[in-house]
Amino acid sequence: MGYSNKTKKIYTDQLDAIAAAGLFKQERFIHSSQAADIEVEFPAGAETKKVINICANNYLGLSSHPDVIKAAHEGLDTRGYGMSSVRFICGTQDIHRELEAKMTAFLGTEDTILFPSCMDANAGVFEAILTQDDVIISDRLVHASLVDGIRLCSAMHDTFKHSNMEHLEEKLQLHADKRIKLVVNDGIYSMDGDMAKVNELVALCEKYDAMLLIDESHSSGFIGKTGRGTHEHHGMMGKIDIITTTFGKALGGASGGCVSGRKEIVQMCRQKARPYLFSNTIAPVVVAGVLKVLDILNESTERRDKLERNAAYWRKGLTEAGFILKEGDSPIVPVMLFNAKLAQDVSRDLFAEGVYAVGFFFPVVPNGQARIRTQISAGHEIHHLDKALDAFRKVGAKYGILGLSKQEIIDKYGQ
Amino acid sequence: MPDLHEMKETILKYVINEYAEEDDDVTFDTPLISGGLVDSFSMVSLKRFLEVKYKISIPDDKATPEVFDNVNKIAALVKDYL
Ligand SMILES: Cc1ncc(COP(=O)(O)O)c(C=O)c1O
């Protein structure tokens, strides 16, 4: 017991500083299953309130789909609850391998390896395949889990400005003599909802003999005509060397992730990736659920089509109401408010109106870029979206920001 | 041997293009690392740029944050290895 008052104070000081900066994160307790309508206890101890959820990554509305729940029950009954082992000792079931094969077919790759999460996939893949002779060139806005994975490996790391292909080309030239060059991107960037220029990335990588990795966590299941991801959208199926993605968002939303791509890369991960070697993989019940999700998506594109219609309806409604949105055609629709306090106030008032949407501000997004990030789902019906639009209009009017330009909002509320 | 002033201009141009935001005013003696413009991870790529551009090799233990802290110091370092 070396937890002296001196040690304790180090932490209380930091926590106080986080709170003083208005950055203290608090959880809101949901008393229902994940869906368009949820019951939320907030603040802690308050009566639960029924609200419309527009901040989940439940893009396809499959998190509580009855067929998925049924399949998960069957998985639980036939394959049990836990594995009590990592994959390569005695933690691999037939359904783990089945899911890997199904993901390979779904993504149009050569092979797939499951990880406990996509955070783990990203933490493990770089170290497993690169050495100090190699270089990683990543977009400056890639997800934190990729940044962490890159830091864990000994390859040189360089960056290029967000989606700036000229800058990437300069970097590919600068590092031309490296043994392996690996370019790293998100497919859809989760804060802005914009898409990587996958076709241009593929062309540059071919020109400079570089490999391409794309994290498809916010695209798998719904981007592209049949929902395979940004590579499908850009006509680049089969050309992405490494795809990482999650089962924790559109694909049922429970947990788990994978690395999918070139056969040898996947084999290297199976031999060397530490989160695969030293952590239990996805529980059987979840694997059974994800298998069902893939069946649903392979049968019909109805859900991703509905999601596309919903997202277009939502964008149009917010634009007509006079909000400033980030351009894009993904179901991530950021409503720009620029000022951090305004974003928090609007989020709080929306909640009072029965709409659950969260404000994002520095350091999660750049200073002066505060926003409410809304995420649309195929689980939303038009009446949900209409009710949420009413709430946005009402709160927007209260703060007098409807129809204002960016500069006018900043003049009124500050950066 | 490249002219020292020209070298400083080249390095400054690279630093501005690579790291500066539109409204940052970066000069030869702007503190880059202690000033927060360049983080210690990005230093690796700056070193790489210098090595490729001037065909030199800077030993890792000489590439310290202090020596990389402004364009004047970086140019002096490069000169040592030309
Ligand atoms: C782009 C991206 N990659 C990876 C992850 C991590 O996914 P998981 O929850 O499976 O660890 C996330 C989740 O926030 C993400 O947005």
Task: Write the pLDDT tens digit of every residue in A373-393.
Answer: 999 999 999 999 999 999 999
pLDDT (tens digit per residue) in A29-52: 999 999 999 999 999 999 999 999
Which amino acid, one-letter code, is at A323? F
> Higher confidence at residue A367 or residue A185?
A185
The count of residues in chain A is: 415
pLDDT score of A1 more than 80:
no
Question: What SS3 string covers A136-161?
Answer: EEEECCCCHHHHHHHHCCCCEEEEEC
Q: Output A239 or B36, whichever has higher pLDDT.
A: A239
CA A120 to ligand 1: nearest atom: 11
The SS3 assignment for A350 reads: helix
CA distance B29 to chain A (A): 24
Question: Domains of chain A: which residue ranges?
Answer: 32-61+302-413, 66-299
The whole-chain average pLDDT of chain A stands at 97
Question: Per-residue pLDDT averaged across A145-164, rounded?
Answer: 96
φ, ψ of residue A225 in degrees (nearest 5): -60, -35
Whole-number Å distance, alpha carbon A64 to ligand 1 midpoint, is 20
- Cα–Cα distance between B22 and A368 in angstroms, integer? 14
Q: Which of A4-13, A14-23, A123-132, A340-349 has the lowest mean pLDDT?
A: A14-23
A127 lines ligand 1 (CB under 6 A): no
Q: Which two tokens stand for residue A152?
A: 């864990």
Is residue A159 a contact partner of residue A184, using CB atoms and an 8 Å limit? no
pLDDT band at B37 (very low <50, low <70, confident <90, very high): confident
How far apart are alpha carbons A317 and A319 in whole angstroms?
Answer: 5
Higher pLDDT, residue A320 or B2: A320
Return the SS3 of A115: strand
Give CATH for domain A32-61+302-413.
3.90.1150.10
Q: Is the CB of A246 under 6 A from ligand 1?
A: yes
CATH fold of A66-299 reads Aspartate Aminotransferase; domain 2 (3.40.640)
Q: What is the pLDDT of residue B23?
A: 74
Mean pLDDT of the A20-37 span = 92
CB contact under 8 A, B41 and A156: no
Give the per-residue pLDDT at B49. 93
A159-165, Cβ contacts within 8 angstroms, sequence gap of 24 or more: A159/B42, A159/B45, A162/A189, A163/A139, A163/A194, A163/A196, A163/A197, A165/A197, A165/A200, A165/A201, A165/A204
Determine contact: B41 vs chain A, CB below 8 A.
Answer: yes
Q: What is the distance between the alpha carbons of residues B69 and A144, in angstroms, rounded to a whole number?
A: 27
Question: pLDDT tens digits, residue range A320-373?
Answer: 999 999 998 899 999 999 999 999 999 999 999 999 999 999 888 888 999 999
Helix (H, G, I), strand (E, B), or coil: what is residue A235? coil
pLDDT digits (tens, 9 = 90+) for A233-288: 999 999 999 999 999 999 999 999 999 999 999 999 999 999 999 999 999 999 99
Q: End-to-end distance of chain B based on CA atoms, in angstroms?
A: 7
Whether residue A131 has pLDDT greater than 80: yes
Angstroms from A158 CA to nearest CA on chain B = 6
**pLDDT greater than 90 at residue A135:** yes
Q: Which H or E run contains A186? A: strand A181-186
Q: Where are the alpha helices (DSSP H) in A175-252?
A: 198-207, 230-233
Count of pairs with CB atoms under 8 A, one residue in A, one in B? 18
**Residue A191 in tokens:** 């804060």
Residue bearing the CA closest to ligand 1, atom 12: A217
pLDDT, tens digit, for every residue of A53-90? 999 999 999 999 999 999 999 999 999 999 999 999 99
Catalytic residues of A: 190, 218, 249
Mutate to test the interface with A, among B45, B47, B60 (most CBs of A within 10 A): B45
Q: Residue B20 — very low, low, confident or very high, per pLDDT cuts 50/70/90? A: confident
For a mutational test of ligand 1's pocket, the pick from A119, A147, A276, A358, i.e. the residue with the most ligand atoms closer than 8 A to its C-beta, is A119
pLDDT of residue A364: 87
- Choose one of A217, A243, A375 to mutate for the ligand 1 pocket test, by most ligand atoms within 8 angstroms of C-beta: A217
Taking CA–CA distances from A156, the nearest residue in chain B reads B44
Q: Do A156 and B49 count as a contact with CB atoms less than 8 A apart?
A: no
Per-residue pLDDT for A199 more than 80?
Answer: yes
> Does ligand 1 have an atom closer than 6 angstroms to the CB of A186?
yes
Q: What is the pLDDT of residue B25?
A: 87
Q: Is A239 helix (H, G, I), strand (E, B) or coil?
A: coil
- Nearest Cα to Cα of residue B9 among B72, B56, B55: B72
Contacts of B48 in chain A (CB under 8 A): 156, 158, 174-175
The pair of three-digit structure tokens given for residue A58, joined into one six-digit string? 């439940």
Please give the single-letter amino acid code of residue A91.
Answer: G
CA distance A315 to A328: 9
* Burial (CB count within 10 angstroms: exposed 0-12, middle 13-18, buried 19+), residue A371: buried
Is a pLDDT exceeding 80 seen at residue B2? no
Other Cβ atoms less than 10 A from the Cβ of B13: the count is 12
For range B57-65, the mean pLDDT? 89
Per cent of chain A over pLDDT 70 is 100
Chain A contact for B49 (CB, 8 A cutoff): yes
- Confidence (pLDDT) at A25: 86
Q: A185 by DSSP, 3-state: which?
A: strand
The share of chain A scoring above pLDDT 90, in percent, equals 95
With beta carbons less than 8 A apart as the criterion, state whether A130 and A155 touch. yes
Q: How far apart (Å, rounded) are the C-alpha atoms in residues A195 and A233?
A: 10
B48·A175 Cβ contact <8 A = yes
B4-19+29-81 CATH: 1.10.1200.10
Q: Encoding tokens for residue A154?
A: 């000994």
Burial profile A254-278: b = 16 or more Cβ within 10 angstroms, e = fewer: bebbbbbbbeebbebbbeebebbbe
Residues of B in contact with A151 (CB under 8 A): 41
Q: What pLDDT does residue A149 have?
A: 98
For chain B, the domains span 4-19+29-81
Q: Is A143 in the pocket of ligand 1 (CB under 6 A)?
A: yes
Do the chains contact at B48 and A159, CB–CB below 8 Å?
no
User: For residue range A399-409, what is the model confidence (pLDDT) as tens digits?
Assistant: 999 999 999 99
Residue labelled with tokens 């950055």: A23
3-state SS, residue B20: coil
Strand partners, A386: none
Higher pLDDT, B36 or A305: A305
Q: Which two tokens stand for residue A69?
A: 């729940």
Q: Does B45 touch chain A (CB under 8 A)?
A: yes
First to last CA, chain A: 46
Which residues make beta-bridge pairs with A299? none
Instruction: Tell me what pLDDT residue A232 has.
Output: 98
Strands A257-261 and A242-246: antiparallel
Give the containing element (helix H, strand E) for A356. Answer: strand A355-356
Measure the CA dihedral B66/B68/B74/B78, to 10°.
Answer: 100
pTM metric for this prediction: 0.95
pLDDT band at A315 (very low <50, low <70, confident <90, very high): very high
Q: What is the pLDDT of residue A26?
A: 87
Task: Identify the DSSP state of B33.
Answer: T
Alpha carbon separation from A15 to A9, A12, A28, A362 (Å, rounded): 10, 5, 19, 17
